[in-house]
Every structure is written in structure tokens, then in C-alpha cells.
A and B are shown apart, each in its own frame.
Chain A
């Protein structure tokens, strides 16, 4: 749904880090543009080290971008300073992967949430207590937990507290950086369902960073695929999973093991070899060409632009249209998504 005024728009963002080698730079995020409509749930997938987290961290201002713009409601955040920037940026919240470290172990849960409320400008203690109760209730935690310290809580409870605290500042965008990958499978489903419910009830837009592809397919309406700092494919989740048109997306989706052993036996391993190249010295042209089974000479000369395959589908590969056409002829490699209840996925 990109036609509406996007809530968050990231344009040509570049984030670089100094390499350990002198005068070398690592481009963790290289010329990335994404948009997020109000209330939309968008996935961002890619293998470890491809820059997913750095992209999220740059958007919330934890890393300094080298170039590019981040627009929230059409306002370029880089033009703002100090308190005004903090006030605006508060609309984007970040849920960290590790719920054990994202809370101060000297603060009780109530104090941690109250601090977020004070930052919001709510200083009346009675009002704070009321809000804390509402917030804990929203994430499905009992009121009594407010008196507890983080070390007394389980991982799932801590992640819920972290979410409740993010919600305290009334965000419109949540960037969830693998919010459930540090949790047990059983708790993962609960927390995922919490996200889906909050998304539905509060209308918060979500950028869902994950490497659990099945989870992303079930939770999100649109998905970006990232490889070595670049977005290489973007489509609605249903279309991406049915008709991946970039060799990397095909390989990534092909690597999902099937839950059905009869299918799993016949599943062909993806045609991808080697490790992700060093981002200090990325390959010329298409970044995936060193591992791509279809690489040709043309791939080395220039970065292939994103080709529009349908109104909601873009892929950055010279052969994208061929793959797109091929996938239409084939039966769907993955069955249609299950009903929107994550519980079923793990029960199978």
C-alpha cells in the first residue's frame, strides 16, 4: 500500500563503519530506500551480517548515517536538533533482540515504565500509576509485576515489559529487531501474537526484522529482502513467497525446511555456495554475483536497478523478469499462509 502518504520514508540511506584496517570502511547499509505506511506491518529479512539491524538502528538514531534521509511524516529528521529531534523521533520505537539487557537491573518494572512516561511529560504519580496499569494490561502482564525487578522475570515477560515501555511514549512505528529469536519456541508464539494484537488494536506500524522466514510470512503484509547492505527485492509477502524473482530470495526461501517429512525429503537444497562476502570489499556490480548460480558477465559491470515486476513487486536482478515469468508457470513452492494465528505453526 505505498500510495498513501508514507509514515516513514527512508531515502538512499548509507551507514558506514570504520574498518579495523586503516582508511577502509564497511558499508553496513548501502543506498537503501524503504517506506512504511501508517499501520502497516513490513518484514525485513536477510542472513546474519547483511545490515538489517544497522538499518533499524540508523532509523532510530543509534547509528549516524553517512548520507541519505529519514523522513517521518514528511519531515527530514536530520534537519532537527536537540529536544525537538528527540520529541519527533520518539514516534519511532525499537524493540531489542535481547530482553535481558534492555532493562536497567536497578529499576523496578514500574520505575522503568514510569521513566518513559516522565520522558513523555507525564509527571503526575497517580496518572503514571494508571498508565502503567493500562500498559502492563495491554501486553498481558499482571499489575503486581510493577514492583518486581527485571532479574525476577522470565525472558518472555521481560520482552513484554520492554514492549510496554516502548508503547508508553505512544509510538507510531515499532522497529522490532528479532524480538522473539532470543525466546523459547512456546513463548515466541505468545509474544508474536502479542505483536499482531497490538498492531491490530493500536494501529502501530511495524518494521519486523527477522531471519525466521516463516514467521515473517505469517505476520507481515509486505517484505524487503536485504543482501550485503542492499535491498534486492521487495514485494507483498504473499507474492514474494510465491514468486521470488531474485536468485538470492529464491535461495533464501528454498532453505526453509518443510514441516512435512514427505516434502522435506524431495526438497532440493538451494543453489547457493560460499559465505557472504566481506562488506569491506564488496563485489563489483551485483553484490550477489559471487554466489549466484546464474551469474553472467553483465552482472559484474553495474549494480542492477530494481525492476518493477508488478505494482507491488520489485527485484534487483538482470534476470528478474525471466524468474518472475518462470515462477508463474510453476506450482507454488510454498503453500498459502496458514490462518493468522502463529500458534498453529509451532503446534504442527
Chain B
């Protein structure tokens, strides 16, 4: 419960723009089937390439499917995929990272060298290789992306875990005779998860982009499931006649990625103490010099 509270508190200090972008994305993703005006897969060939109208607010694609509905339902596809990838990647990463941070010594060396190997390979190439071996499919894509993403979260959680383990209250617990399991599950893990979850927001945008990229290449989400990368591919042959159908999914995807990136960046910056402005520094020095004068 306290993890959620901390999470909510840190969310409050974040930039408005990114909160709106991410908020809209998540809301649409959760409520997609209830707010989409049309069935995203219903074809109406008479309305193919339709422009903006009361019937189709954002027009329709080459098969006459309503673009707005497809955009909205795509948000759900992306959101679910993103959550699954992050869930798997973070579970593995946090487990590996906290074990390394808890045990230290050669265990840490071995685990972190494996992580280094994972980090050395570009994530998309890892994902492409895995899909190349196991074939295309929804779950193959999820696992491929999770495999590409876990080393990053392992690295972060190890750093957080080492910091937590070095705090004196962990030493106090050991002196009290707390079992290793108690220290790990009651103190190390909750603190680490809280910190790493916050950092994970920065990754979310990149995961969404990767899902779209794989789908664009025909390796991720398969038709007829609506997905932004797919919509781009479908509309690409008609770029010169109906450019809006290409631009719209691109814009939405860009907004989501920028939203998550801004969010992640500001979270990372929030963790660094901001330097004092020159004016405040001067006034503090003035105050301190008055103290010494008063003492003499």
C-alpha cells in the first residue's frame, strides 16, 4: 500500500503535458471497447478512404474500417502488450538485481556480467532474433521484448538494492537476528520495487514504440487486431492520396512515446537535488555569516 502512496506522491510533481498524454493513453486503453464508436474490424467497402465526416470522425481506411475506433482499440493492444512486457522484464530484472545486491561477492559478479552481455546487444536486434527463431505470434513478441528489456531493469534494481543494503537499518536488523528471508522480502524487495517502478515509466514509451515497430515489420501483432504500426503499414500504399491515414497513427504513437519519455526524464531529474539558484545561495551565506558574527 505504501508503495502505491509513494508512487502517487511522485506522480504529482510531474509535467502536465506528459501526464495528459499518458493519462489519455491509459484511459483509452482501459475503456477502449466501451468508447469506440464503431467495431474496429467492421468493413464497409463503400466508405473506403472516406474523409472526415459525422459517420467517421477521422475517416476510414482502405477497407472502410473506422479510423478513430481503430486508434482507440489500438491503445488497448499497446497498453496490454506494454504492461505484459514490463511485468515480465521487471520481475526477472528485479529478482536478478536484488539477489545480486543482496549477496554481493561472486554471485553479483556472475549475474552482472550476464546482464552486461544482455545490455551490450541492442534490444530490437535481440527481439528480431528471437522472433526469427520461434516465429511470429503475440506471445513470442511479448517474450522477445521482455528478453530484450530485463537487463536494464536488473542493472537499476541492483544499484537500488546495494544502496538499501548499505543503510544502517538493515545492519540493525541483522544484529537483531532477522533471517535473510525477512530482510530480503520485508525490507529489500519493497523498497527496491518502489524505486524501480518509477524508473520503469521511462521504459514504457520505448516498449510501446518497439511493439509498433515489430508490428510494422509484420513480426508482432498480426492482423486483424488493430495496432498503430499495422495501421501505418496498411495506409502506406495510399500515402499520396490519403495521407491522413498514415499521419494519424504516427501522431498518436509519437504523442505516447514523448509523453512517457518526458515523464521518465522528469522522474529521473526529480531524484537529483536541484542546485540552489544564485540568489538563494547568496541569502543563505549571508544568514550563515550573521551567525558567526553573533557568536563573537
Residues in A lying within 8 Å of B, measured CB to CB: 60-62, 83, 86-87, 89-90, 92-94, 96, 98, 101-104, 106, 115-116, 119, 162, 165-166, 168-169
Contact = CB atoms under 8 A, between A and B. Distances in A.
Interface in B175-201: 175-179, 182, 186-187, 190-191
B175 A103 contact: no
A61 B168 contact: no
A293 B174 CA distance: 44
Contacts of A115: 173, 176, 178, 186
Contacts of B104: none
Contacts of B179: 83, 86, 119
A119 B187 contact: no
B167 interface: yes
B172 interface: yes
A119 B177 contact: yes
B177 A89 contact: yes
A169 B167 contact: no
Interface string B152-169: 000000000000000111
Interface of B: 2, 167-169, 171-179, 182, 186-187, 190-191
Contacts of B182: 119
A165 B169 CA distance: 12
B177 A102 contact: no
A96 B177 contact: no
Given A62-B171, A96-B168, A98-B168, A104 B176 contact: no
Given A103-B172, A106-B191, A119-B178, 18 more contacts: A61-B174, A62-B171, A83-B179, A89-B177, A92-B175, A93-B175, A93-B176, A94-B171, A96-B172, A98-B168, A101-B168, A102-B171, A104-B169, A104-B187, A106-B2, A119-B179, A119-B182, A165-B172
Most buried by A among B2, B176, B190: B176
Contacts of A169: 176-177
A106 B176 CA distance: 18
Given A101-B168, A103-B169, A119-B182, A165 B176 contact: yes
Nearest to A96: B168
A86 B177 contact: yes
When A and B form their complex, which 9 residue pairs have the shortest distance between CB atoms, in order from nearest?
A: A86-B177, A90-B177, A101-B168, A104-B169, A94-B175, A102-B168, A102-B172, A60-B175, A116-B176
Contacts of A162: 172
B169 A101 contact: yes
A80 to B, nearest CB: 12
A191 B99 CA distance: 39
Nearest to B190: A106
B182 to A, nearest CB: 7
A102 B175 CA distance: 11
20 contacts: A61-B174, A86-B177, A87-B177, A90-B176, A90-B177, A93-B175, A96-B171, A98-B168, A101-B168, A102-B169, A102-B171, A103-B169, A103-B172, A106-B2, A106-B190, A119-B176, A119-B178, A119-B182, A162-B172, A165-B172
A62 B172 CA distance: 9
Nearest to A82: B179
B175 A61 contact: yes
A10 B144 CA distance: 56
A94 to B, nearest CB: 5
Most buried by B among A92, A94, A168: A94
A94 B191 contact: no
B10 to A, nearest CB: 15
Given A103-B169, A104-B169, A62 B191 contact: no
Contacts of B2: 106
Nearest to A88: B177
Contacts of A98: 168
Contacts of B190: 106
A89 B176 CA distance: 8
A94 B172 contact: yes
B167 A101 contact: yes
Nearest to A169: B176
Nearest to A105: B169
A115 B169 CA distance: 12
A86 B175 CA distance: 8
A62 B165 CA distance: 12
A17 to B, nearest CB: 15
Nearest to B170: A104
Contacts of A62: 171, 174-175
Most buried by B among A94, A106, A169: A106
B94 to A, nearest CB: 18
Contacts of A96: 168, 171-172
A282 B186 CA distance: 43
